[in-house]
């Protein structure tokens, strides 16, 4: 392949696309299939947190194909299913901001949050094996509910968006 005369921007773009393909077609499916290893891994909290936020940021990339976006979504669901609820605080803050902007990439955060709240219902209420939600976590839940509700109210009706958002509101509420 001849790269002489190719612009640096084109090379960066090709490299980024190739990296996205590799991550979404090989790395993320492997990590998704072995997500059970993330359970009880709080001693690697910094690594898990960095991985979670890096992959979450990938969801915003416009260059992802539907299959790549599905791989990102599946990984995020798999890893958040294994994490203790307290490790979701930073991600919830990012999700609140994304929900307020209500871009076309909001379906993945809605899916993650819905499954998180369905799994941790007792944690946010009377408590479970993880303990009881802190005041910060409860406040973030309230802010998240308000952000989803307000964003839906300011948008024209979209059946797909409402189909994802209403179960999320129900799970939070």
Res 134: pLDDT: 84
Give the C-alpha separation, 14 to 111, whole Å: 30
* Predicted pLDDT of residue 107: 85
Mean pLDDT by 10 residues, the chain (173 residues): 48 81 95 89 84 90 89 93 87 89 81 89 72 85 92 87 89 86
Q: Over the chain, what HEC string results? A: CCCCCCCHHHHHHHHHHHHHHHHHHHHHHHHHHCHHHHCCCHHHHHHHHHHHHHHHHHCCCCCCCHHHHHHHHHHHHHHHHHCCHHHHHHHHHHHHHHHHHCCHHHHHHHHHHHHHHHHCHHHHCCCECCECCCHHHHHHHHHHHHHHHHHHHCCCCCHHHHHHHHHHHHHHC
What does the pLDDT read at residue 142? 92
pTM of the full structure: 0.81
pLDDT at 33: 96
**What are the residues whose beta carbons fall under 8 Å from the beta carbon of 97, sequence distance 6 or more?**
none
Rounded Cα gap, residues 11 and 17, in angstroms: 10
Residue 79 falls in which region: left (phi positive, over 0), alpha (psi -120 to 50) or beta: alpha
User: Residue 84's closest CA among 44, 135, 139, 55?
Assistant: 44
Separation in Å, CA 1 to CA 4, 6, 71, 125: 9, 11, 30, 60
Confidence (pLDDT) at 12: 59
pLDDT for residue 143:
93
């Amino acid at each position: 392949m001849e790269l002489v005369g190719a612009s640096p921007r084109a090379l960066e773009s090709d490299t980024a696309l190739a990296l996205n393909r590799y991550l979404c077609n090989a790395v993320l499916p492997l990590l998704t299939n072995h997500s059970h290893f993330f359970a009880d891994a709080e001693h690697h909290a910094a690594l898990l947190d960095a991985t979670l936020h890096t992959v979450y940021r990938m969801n915003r990339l416009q260059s992802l194909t539907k299959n790549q976006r599905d791989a990102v979504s599946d990984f995020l669901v798999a890893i958040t299913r294994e994490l203790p609820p307290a490790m979701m605080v930073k991600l919830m803050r990012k999700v609140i901001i994304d929900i307020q902007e209500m871009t076309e990439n909001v379906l993945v955060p809605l899916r993650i949050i819905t499954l998180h709240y369905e799994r941790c219902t007792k944690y946010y209420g009377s408590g479970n094996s993880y303990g009881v939600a802190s005041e910060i976590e409860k406040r973030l839940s309230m802010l998240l509910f308000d952000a989803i509700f307000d964003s839906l109210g300011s948008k024209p009706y979209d059946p797909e968006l409402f189909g994802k958002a209403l179960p999320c509101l129900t799970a939070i509420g």
